[in-house]
Amino acid sequence: MQYGVTPVGIVRSCFKEKFAIPRQPQLAPAARGVLELLPPFDGGEAVAGLEQVSHVWLLFLFHQALEDKPRLKVRPPRLGGNKSMGVFATRATHRPNGIGQSVVRLEGVEPGRLLLSGIDLLDGTPVLDIKPYVPYADSVPYAHNAMADAAPACIGVSWAERALPQARAHGERLGEPLVALIEQCLAQDPRPAYQVPPAERVYGVRFWDVQVRWRYPTPQTIEVIEVCREA
């Protein structure tokens, strides 16, 4: 038996490419976005009362990772990308039906859209459903996960002399906490866990409409070297 689903909205996110998106929500509180609701959910009735909620669950599609053939085993980045695990034991993007879930902070409810922060969603992500976070039911104090019992350790992020003023200027232009966004995302170390790049190698990613470039002066430190607007 087959079922069809239709998005209730589309996320407009600070993340314009998959690289450097935090691997879980809430790891980068400065990551902001807007969920634009689609008809018939954009008139206000469907979100009435949601202003009483601080966080929501989003069920969404990994729209850039959909696959025709289901994977039974995957290699989670958390385990270095070298250890194979059953797909249902992980939160890898390679899902049988392409469905993901994230709990994000609800910053505001406006006509036809929700303002969000702490997101880990790519720009253009289709959202299938929205559910209010219920603390007494959704937080289990005695729960455990031996593979991911704590958030990954962060690495140090420093700034080249010209990069920090660039980031501050673009953040002011955008009206977004760009410096915090860069630091929070890069501190999660977006490179593959098995990769130890040479110090001269430069990485880059796009946040909002700016390109951020950095390098690893040591394997456990990052230096942001440039923040420039996309041409």
CB 11 within 8 A of CB 107: no
Task: Tell me which residue has tokens 């959910």.
Answer: 41
**57/22 same-domain check:** yes
Task: Tell me which residue has tokens 């069920």.
Answer: 59
CB 73 within 8 A of CB 90: no
Q: Which residues contact 27 (CB under 8 A, 6 or more apart)?
A: 118, 120, 151, 184, 188
**129/163 same-domain check:** no
- Compute the chain's Rg from CA coordinates: 19
What type of residue sits at position 180? A
| Count of structural domains, the chain | 2
- Structural domain ending residue among the three candidates 108, 138, 168: 138
135: phi then psi, degrees, rounded to nearest 5: -55, -45
- Structural domain ending residue among the three candidates 84, 105, 138: 138
The pLDDT value given to residue 74: 85
**127/179 same-domain check:** no
- State the maximum Cα–Cα separation within the chain, in Å, rounded to a whole number: 59
The pLDDT value given to residue 81: 61
Q: Which CATH number covers residue 120?
A: 2.40.30.70
**109/174 same-domain check:** no
Domain that holds residue 133: 9-138
The pLDDT value given to residue 231: 67
CB 59 within 8 A of CB 5: no
**164/92 same-domain check:** no
The pLDDT value given to residue 70: 83
Distance CA 75, CA 84 (A): 5
Average pLDDT, consecutive stretches of 10 residues, N- to C-terminus, the chain (231 residues): 89 95 93 98 95 97 84 76 83 88 97 96 97 95 85 91 97 98 95 75 95 94 94 67
The pLDDT value given to residue 94: 85
CB 72 within 8 A of CB 86: yes
